[in-house]
């Protein structure tokens, strides 16, 4: 029986995904790091089991009626968990945050800043004090009345409404008008009003064109329609509406998304002239603090904002600015001082967003919870990793447990407890190899982690390759880059380094196919290969096309007259119609993102019973989709087109994935390696430029080795590879390094050093140099 004084979270019989009946005990009130190669089951244990179970208990307690739905979606497959505190996940959700969400709202700093302006701002003489809502563009009290708090206004221009002025009105000059009857009606009204609807638009007098497009008048006239010769229509009273009025009204009021989208095509967006894009009403913008409006403060990088908020005249101001600075401090500490409060969250990277949430939690006052984090070091320069560890330690010291999935060796070394999952991926993993103090992992022979954690031998020295030309990018002036010109050597492996916010992504974002010397440009990122269970490994790589032909060529399929299309789950015919071939049905949950449950008709097979009766070498098409890449490689050994795809997937270490594994179940690292495999499969030689932004995110050092072998193989075949990278072992193995900095935001945006890894490691004022020097052979 579990005692409340038992200091452990005890998991028994965890079977989520690939977990093989895992039993594990993890102490509460520690920093526990979950490690293991990609696909070994770390996330399945930390998020899929521990966090999911805490969530389930929470929802059951607050909303008992949700029980049935949770049951349907499936509670985590686990025998029992005892000693589990409530859990908070800081994992970066991929769902799109609303466009109104910003750094200020995510951190709650906007609220405090508004309070400061409300209570301690400088008001114009005679002005009434405003409450803090009046400083929010998201409230009726604060929003600029011109743009309703959007900061932009949508306008119509003659060019946008009449794209082809050589046409007459009858020929459709006013493209923005509605189609069909309504459009003809407007034309007939103009005709009745005495306008010439048969002259080319551009020949109409300017004041007529102005009135037709922009008038606010809505005259009513009697129209005598002469539309169809064989149909006599009665005269009727028609009301005119200008093209602008029609477009604005449709854009603002229409219930139809299609009509709104059509209307939007005729609008151009410009900063709101009333508020200058600040989204606030004039009364709020008249209030200042330290000589600035709230909009101006929200646009400052947080480092500068903290400096600007040094005190203030009144006691109230001192208390409020003190609180603000205390809450900004952890954000600065986590290396995010270059962000401003008004920065929209969709423009942040997943790593930046998670670290913002982490910084915010420090002041939440919560204790007794378990925080579950997914690779908080993602996007973090080694110089900032120590700060991350300090922040995690503080969460723990306030009485919480901190469970982190991590690949960064320094974070592992800083842990109190290590849970190593493995030994390999998929069905070759799913076991806990070690759960205990870090040092004790050294004696675990099977562990891929131990090999990296305790081996300090420097990497083998590699010959630096010679470039076969240069790609010049710039001068770039964008975000924090000011007239930066960079030369990327061609035919070699280049690493772009620098602290978070220094401008790495901005710089490589300027590399396009239009530049001379680029040829073909391929960006291998970690975005999903598809957003629904309809896309999977087999469809993405194209190997499923061949598999379907193989099935159509069987005697059974021919006897029944089934073509290759019959074996597709994306078109009607062979698929299960209940789930339309998804194998899953979507379940909507109140307060939770919608999730998928297995199809009640086909049980996840995706096909109807007749299709499944056709077998190739004893397996139905559904059973083939259920094979792992490894098993499929044997099964299809003598079908060259399939075997080739499978071989490249094995090469990138994805042998454990099932062919039909839906895109929605793949991690970012898996998606990236699938893309890479599809590239390798093309077998093209030379002259492709591969761009990768932090390709090692989510990868264990053992996976990084595999990935680097592939990327260097591409370079050896004559291609160019450019990566943005924080992993110094990757940087040390590059041919060329471009280091940006020295800091983030306005403190960065320059090329601090460029050269071979050895040259950059010896540069004096580079933040990267000391960390690179440590791993240089
Ligand atoms: P890690 O976090 O160690 O990279 P995961 O826990 O994400 O590994 O994955 C472990 C195994 O479970 C892998 O084989 C992966 O493909 C599989 N898997 C992950 N998510 C799902 C899912 N939603 N449904 C089924 N299998 C999954
Ligand atoms: P890195 O890739 O080195 O982390 P970035 O290129 O993402 O750096 O950012 C460089 C600077 O540009 C930072 O000050 C960042 O805040 C700013 N920045 C990046 N993306 C945007 C954006 N979409 N809108 C406004 N500023 C941005
Ligand atoms: Zn405005
Ligand atoms: Zn079905």
Instruction: Give me the percent of the chain exceeding a pLDDT of 70.
Output: 93
Label residue 438 by pLDDT band (50, 70, 90). Answer: very high
Mean pLDDT computed over every residue of the chain: 89
> What is the rounded average pLDDT of the residues 238-255?
88
| Ligand 1 site, residue 665, Cβ cutoff 6 A | yes
pLDDT one-digit tens code per residue, 729-777: 999 999 999 999 998 888 899 999 999 999 999 999 899 999 999 988 8
| Ligand 2 site, residue 335, Cβ cutoff 6 A | no
With residues binned 3-state (H G I as helix, E B as strand, rest as coil), the percentages for the chain, rounded to 5, are 40, 20, 45
- The enclosing H or E element of 475 equals strand 470-478
> What is the rounded average pLDDT of the residues 348-356?
83
Q: Residue 623 pLDDT more than 60?
A: yes
Q: Residue 660 pLDDT more than 70?
A: yes
Cα separation, 219 vs 377, in Å, equals 65
DSSP assignment of 404-434 equals EE---HHHHHT-SEEEEEESSSGGG--EEEE
Cα separation, 185 vs 631, in Å, equals 66
Q: How far is the CA of 95 from the centre of ligand 3 (A)?
A: 28
Tell me what pLDDT residue 16 has: 94
| Ligand 1 site, residue 667, Cβ cutoff 6 A | yes
- Give 657's Cβ-side CA count (13 Å radius): 27
Is pLDDT larger for residue 227 or for residue 654? 654
Q: Residue 226 pLDDT more than 80?
A: no
Q: Which residues surround ligand 4, an ion (CB under 5 A)?
A: 576, 578-579, 599, 601-602
* Test site for ligand 2: of 347, 503, 726, most ligand atoms within 8 A of the Cβ: 503
31 - beta bridge partners?
Answer: 402
| Ligand 2 site, residue 484, Cβ cutoff 6 A | no
Going by C-alpha positions, the residue among 649, 371, 664 that lies closest to residue 528 is 664
Cα separation, 53 vs 47, in Å, equals 9
Tell me what pLDDT residue 231 has: 57
- Give 48's Cβ-side CA count (13 Å radius): 21
Number of other CB atoms surrounding residue 450 within 10 Å: 21
Tell me what pLDDT residue 68 has: 59
pTM for the predicted model, two decimal places: 0.82
Instruction: Name all domains of the chain by residue range, CATH numbers in brackets.
Output: 8-86+368-452 (3.40.50.300), 103-147+281-333 (1.20.1580.10), 154-271 (1.10.8.280), 470-527+685-775 (3.40.50.300), 537-665 (1.20.1580.10)
Label residue 697 by pLDDT band (50, 70, 90). Answer: confident
Residues sharing a CB contact under 8 Å with residue 476, sequence separation 6 or more, in sequence order: 483, 484, 485, 486, 506, 507, 510
Is pLDDT larger for residue 17 or for residue 686? 17
pLDDT one-digit tens code per residue, 109-142: 999 999 999 999 999 999 999 999 999 988 999 9
Residues sharing a CB contact under 8 Å with residue 192, sequence separation 6 or more, in sequence order: 221, 222, 223, 224, 238
Q: Residue 93 pLDDT more than 80?
A: no
Closest-CA residue, ligand 2 atom 5, reads 503
pLDDT one-digit tens code per residue, 154-176: 888 898 899 899 999 999 899 98
Q: Residue 67 pLDDT more than 70?
A: no
Tell me what pLDDT residue 502 has: 92
Label residue 366 by pLDDT band (50, 70, 90). Answer: confident
> What is the rounded average pLDDT of the residues 683-699?
84
- The ligand placed nearest to the CA atom of residue 606 is 4
Tell me what pLDDT residue 97 has: 46
Tell me what pLDDT residue 258 has: 79
Label residue 94 by pLDDT band (50, 70, 90). Answer: very low
DSSP assignment of 695-722 equals TTTT--HHHHHHHHHHHHHHHHTT-EEE
The atom number, within ligand 2, closest to the CA of 506 reads 6
Q: How far is the CA of 444 from the centre of ligand 1 (A)?
A: 23
**Dihedral sign from CA coordinates of 261, 267, 270, 271:** negative
Cα separation, 550 vs 566, in Å, equals 12
Q: How far is the CA of 282 from the centre of ligand 1 (A)?
A: 53
- The enclosing H or E element of 361 equals helix 350-361
| Ligand 2 site, residue 498, Cβ cutoff 6 A | yes
pLDDT one-digit tens code per residue, 484-531: 999 999 999 999 999 988 999 999 999 988 887 778 899 888 888 887
């Amino acid at each position: 029986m579990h005692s409340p004084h038992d200091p452990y979270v005890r998991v028994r019989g965890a079977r989520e995904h690939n977990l093989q009946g895992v039993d594990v005990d993890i102490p509460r009130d520690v920093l526990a790091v979950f490690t293991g190669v990609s696909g070994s089951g770390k996330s399945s244990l930390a998020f899929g089991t521990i966090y999911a179970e805490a969530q389930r208990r929470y929802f059951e307690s607050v909303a008992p009626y949700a029980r049935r739905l949770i049951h349907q979606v499936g509670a985590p497959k686990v025998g029992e968990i005892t000693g589990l505190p409530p859990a908070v996940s800081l994992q970066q959700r991929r769902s799109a945050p609303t466009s109104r969400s910003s750094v200020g709202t995510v951190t709650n700093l906007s609220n405090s800043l508004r309070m400061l302006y409300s209570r301690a701002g400088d008001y114009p003489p005679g002005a009434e004090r405003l409450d803090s809502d009046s400083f929010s563009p998201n409230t009726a009290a604060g929003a600029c009345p011109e743009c309703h708090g959007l900061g932009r206004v949508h306008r119509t221009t003659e060019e946008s409404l009449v794209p082809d002025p050589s046409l007459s009105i009858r020929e459709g000059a006013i493209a923005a008008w509605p189609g069909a009857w309504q459009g003809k009606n407007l034309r007939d009204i103009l005709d009745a009003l005495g306008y010439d609807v048969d002259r080319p638009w551009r020949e109409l007098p300017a004041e007529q064109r102005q009135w037709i497009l922009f008038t606010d008048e809505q005259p009513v006239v009697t129209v005598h329609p002469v539309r169809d010769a064989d149909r006599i229509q009665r005269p009727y009273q028609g009301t005119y509406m200008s093209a602008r009025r029609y477009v604005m009204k449709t854009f603002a009021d229409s219930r139809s998304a299609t009509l709104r989208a059509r209307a939007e095509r005729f609008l151009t967006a410009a900063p709101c002239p009333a508020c200058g894009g600040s989204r606030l009403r004039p009364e709020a913008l008249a209030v200042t603090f330290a000589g600035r409006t709230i909009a101006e403060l929200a646009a400052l990088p947080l480092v500068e904002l903290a400096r600007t908020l040094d005190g203030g005249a009144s006691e109230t101001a001192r208390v409020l600015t003190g609180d603000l600075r205390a809450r900004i401090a952890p954000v600065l500490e986590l290396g995010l001082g270059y962000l401003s409060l008004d920065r929209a969250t969709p423009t942040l990277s997943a790593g930046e967003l998670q670290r913002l949430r982490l910084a915010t939690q420090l002041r939440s006052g919560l204790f007794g919870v378990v925080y579950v984090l997914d690779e908080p070091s993602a996007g973090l320069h080694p110089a900032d990793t120590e700060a991350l560890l300090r922040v995690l330690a503080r969460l723990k010291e306030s009485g919480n447990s901190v469970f982190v999935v991590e690949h960064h060796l320094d974070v592992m070394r800083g842990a109190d407890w290590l849970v190593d999952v493995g030994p390999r991926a998929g069905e070759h993993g799913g076991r806990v190899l070690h759960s205990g103090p870090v040092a004790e992992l050294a004696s675990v022979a099977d562990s891929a982690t131990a090999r990296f954690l305790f081996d300090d031998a420097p990497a083998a020295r590699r010959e630096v390759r010679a470039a076969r030309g240069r790609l010049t990018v710039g001068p770039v002036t964008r975000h924090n880059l000011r007239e930066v010109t960079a030369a990327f050597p061609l035919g070699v492996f280049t690493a772009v380094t620098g602290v978070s916010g220094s401008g790495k992504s901005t710089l490589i974002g300027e590399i396009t196919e239009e530049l001379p010397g680029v040829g073909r440009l391929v960006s291998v990122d970690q975005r999903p290969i598809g957003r629904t269970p309809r896309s999977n490994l087999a469809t993405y790589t194209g190997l499923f096309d061949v598999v379907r032909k193989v099935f159509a060529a069987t005697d059974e399929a021919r006897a029944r007259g089934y073509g290759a299309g019959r074996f597709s789950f994306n078109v009607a015919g062979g698929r299960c119609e209940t789930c339309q071939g998804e194998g899953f049905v979507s379940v909507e949950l109140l307060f939770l993102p919608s999730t998928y449950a297995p199809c009640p008709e086909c049980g996840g097979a995706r096909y109807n019973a007749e299709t499944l009766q056709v077998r190739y070498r004893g397996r139905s098409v559904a059973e083939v989709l259920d094979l792992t890449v490894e098993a499929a490689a044997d099964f299809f050994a003598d079908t060259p087109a399939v075997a080739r795809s499978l071989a490249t997937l094995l090469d990138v270490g994805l042998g454990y994935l099932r062919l039909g594994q839906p895109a929605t179940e793949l991690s970012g690292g898996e998606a990236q390696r699938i893309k890479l495999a599809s590239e390798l499969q093309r077998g093209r030689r030379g002259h492709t430029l591969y761009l990768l932004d932090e390709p090692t995110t989510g990868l264990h050092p053992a996976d990084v080795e595999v990935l680097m072998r592939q990327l260097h193989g591409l370079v050896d075949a004559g291609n160019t590879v450019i990566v943005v990278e924080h992993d110094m072992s990757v940087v040390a193995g590059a041919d060329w390094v471009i280091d940006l900095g020295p800091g983030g935001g306005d403190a960065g945006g320059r090329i601090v050093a460029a050269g071979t890894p050895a040259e950059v490691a010896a540069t004096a004022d580079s933040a990267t140099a000391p960390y690179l020097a440590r791993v240089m052979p």
